[in-house]
Amino acid sequence: MCESQTKTLIQQHITFYGAGAMAEAVVRGLIARQVVRPQDISMMNRSNVKRLDELQQKYGVQVQHNDDAKMELLKHSPVIVLAMKPKEASAAIKKLAPILSDDQLIISMIAGLTIRTIQSLLGRPQAVARTMPNTSSTIGLGATGLSLSKELTAEQRQTVLTMFEAVGTVTEVEEDKLEILTGISGSGPAYIYYMMEAMMAAGIRGGLTPDQCRELTIQTVLGAARMVQKTGEAPSALRAKVTSPNGATQAALEKLDEGDFFETVISAVHRCAERSREMGAALVEVPSREEY
């Protein structure tokens, strides 16, 4: 994304309900890109006061410690971002049920949690944007997948798009594709970091300094991603250009294939999607007797 792009300022108050790693990544990106003013962002969590104070000092956002004040803020905030862990979501969303009004927009970043389950926990057909961002939103290089419920107004849709386009790319998909998308881009940074950890460890074992390994690995990953982006060539074609017949790269790739690298990555992505579905299924409301 280019710094000179015209930015739209979101002037509605945004409340982050959950103030962990993912909430911070998006908040930091939004403020750095000047898409939302710090005073228009509130953050709250369950109990970690020190964490909220740190966030307030770092970003100038508003934070809320007091339980009554938290509820009051949630009641009036036009945009609420659900940013707690899946296992924490049910209790947190149920607290919103009695206080929300029709015109409030819920943006969920929670893996696996469906729009239907959120609406069922709320007991009303609320406007819900289900998103799957990633932590690279911190530096404006996020990749967010999203799906919107039919209740969103045109203005609410624009708010969601503006928010996530400000911190990277946005891919709108059918909701049932969000789990596989999580397997690629939501969790994907972790796979790349793991690969980088292994490359650095190999370099250190081979006698390079940690600093040298870090610089070489970063530049290699950065360069490879940019090559795919800038040349438009398929990764397989670019790989072929590195791989001299019977050369050193081929020997390395054969070693990776001994561990069934390609299929292992595919299995990992699919397992991630499956795990997201499992976490979402664990949150499905069992209808009460009266609802039958």
d(CA 77, CA 59): 19
Encoded tokens for 108:
């969920």
Q: Are 272 and 183 in contact (CB under 8 A)?
A: yes
For ligand NDP, which residue of 13, 18, 117, 120 counts as binding (CB under 6 A)?
A: 18
- Residue facing ligand NDP at closest CB distance: 20
Does the protein bind ligand A1CAB through residue 133 (CB under 6 A)? no
Q: Would you call 162 helix, strand, or coil by DSSP? A: helix
Q: Which does 110 bind (CB under 5 to 8 A by kind): ligand NDP, ligand A1CAB, none?
A: ligand NDP
Write the interaction track for ligand NDP spanning residues 182-201; mark x where CB under 6 A is met and - where it is not.
Answer: ----x---------------
Residue 21 or 237: the one with the smaller Cβ distance to ligand NDP is 21
For ligand NDP, which residue of 35, 36, 74, 111 counts as binding (CB under 6 A)?
A: 111
Sign of the CA dihedral running 90, 93, 99, 105: negative
For ligand NDP, which residue of 85, 94, 241, 255 counts as binding (CB under 6 A)?
A: 85
For ligand NDP, which residue of 15, 62, 64, 135 counts as binding (CB under 6 A)?
A: 135
d(CA 83, CA 110): 6
Does the protein bind ligand A1CAB through residue 185 (CB under 6 A)? no
> How many CB atoms are located within 10 Å of the residue 267 CB?
11
Helix (H) or strand (E) holding 210: helix 210-231
> In 33-132, where does DSSP find H-type helix?
49-59, 67-76, 86-96, 115-122
Does the protein bind ligand NDP through residue 114 (CB under 6 A)? no
Q: Which residue has the tokens 């940013």?
A: 83
Q: Are 58 and 32 in contact (CB under 8 A)?
A: no
- Residue facing ligand A1CAB at closest CB distance: 186
As measured in angstroms, the least distance from the Cβ of 272 to ligand A1CAB is: 8
d(CA 152, CA 167): 21
Does the protein bind ligand NDP through residue 66 (CB under 6 A)? no
Binding residues (CB under 6 A) for ligand NDP: these are: 17-23, 44-48, 83-86, 88, 91-92, 109-111, 132-135, 186
Binding site for ligand A1CAB (CB under 6 A): 111, 182, 186-187
